[in-house]
Amino acid sequence: MKEIKVVKQIMEWNDDVSDKIKELTASKNVCIINVMGSPGAGKTSLITRLIEELSKEYKIGVIEGDITDTIDAVKIDELGIPVVQLQTDGACHIEAMSIEHILPMFNLDELDIIFVENIGNLVCPAEFNIGENFRIAILSVPEGDDKVAKYPLMFSTSDFLVMHKYDMKEYFDFDDKRVEKDTLDRNPKAKIFRVSSKTGDGLSEFVEAVKDKVSMRS
């Protein structure tokens, strides 16, 4: 019988590339952390805070995902951290193929952690594995406490949920217990943190949890 050529859909292809990235980073003992959340949730601010704390122990690189511009990459570069700006030119999520393309731009032998700041978006970034070891979902207080229920995939697939901008809580009707319940109902293993990158409150507990997770890489 004649063999039929089959082309896989993008999701399956994406997962194949994601698995290849995982093999590579495992062999290099590098941990990729996929940081996701809405536009302005504080992804860059939290990554910056984590870099300040973790760079004492770990060598860190960053991939900044944005539609356009280099604003976030410039901020990371100013910290003296190797960074590549991925511009998706309109696409609203990062695919594994982009990460595969970018990784050779880093010296993986000299890195322990690569943060990937995903495109600001609560929806499709969660659908795409990008070779990450784990995921951090950020939900900032001003966005509202119903977002886990309304955009469940990101929160059900992330290892950590950070309720961010927690210093703003008194100004918003934000029910943190509801967020906690909505998350744990969908993702009982999720670890949940209340953090302000502005004041530093809640940061040290989160940093320790990230360190634990990084130490389990490969």
21 close to 130: Cβ distance less than 8 angstroms: yes
CA atoms within 13 A on the CB side of 100: 17
124 binds Zn ion (CB under 5 A): yes
| Residues of this chain, 55-94, that bind Zn ion according to CB under 5 A | 92-93
49 binds ligand GTP (CB under 6 A): no
Other CB atoms within 10 A of residue 154 CB: 25
> How does DSSP classify residue 55?
T
164 binds ligand GTP (CB under 6 A): yes
Determine the Cα–Cα distance for residues 81 and 91; give it in Å rounded to an integer: 26
The one of Mg ion, ligand GTP, Zn ion, none whose footprint includes residue 22, by CB under 5 to 8 A per kind, is: none
| Residues of this chain, 123-152, that bind ligand GTP according to CB under 6 A | none
| Residues of this chain, 161-200, that bind Zn ion according to CB under 5 A | none
Q: What are the CA-CA distances from residue 120 to residues 3, 25, 64, 138, 150 (Å)?
A: 43, 25, 11, 10, 16
**Site pattern 32..61 for Mg ion (x: CB under 5 A):** -----------xx-----------------
Determine the Cα–Cα distance for residues 155 and 163; give it in Å rounded to an integer: 11
Footprint of ligand GTP (CB under 6 A) = 37, 39-45, 72, 120, 164-165, 167-168, 196-198
Footprint of Zn ion (CB under 5 A) = 92-93, 124
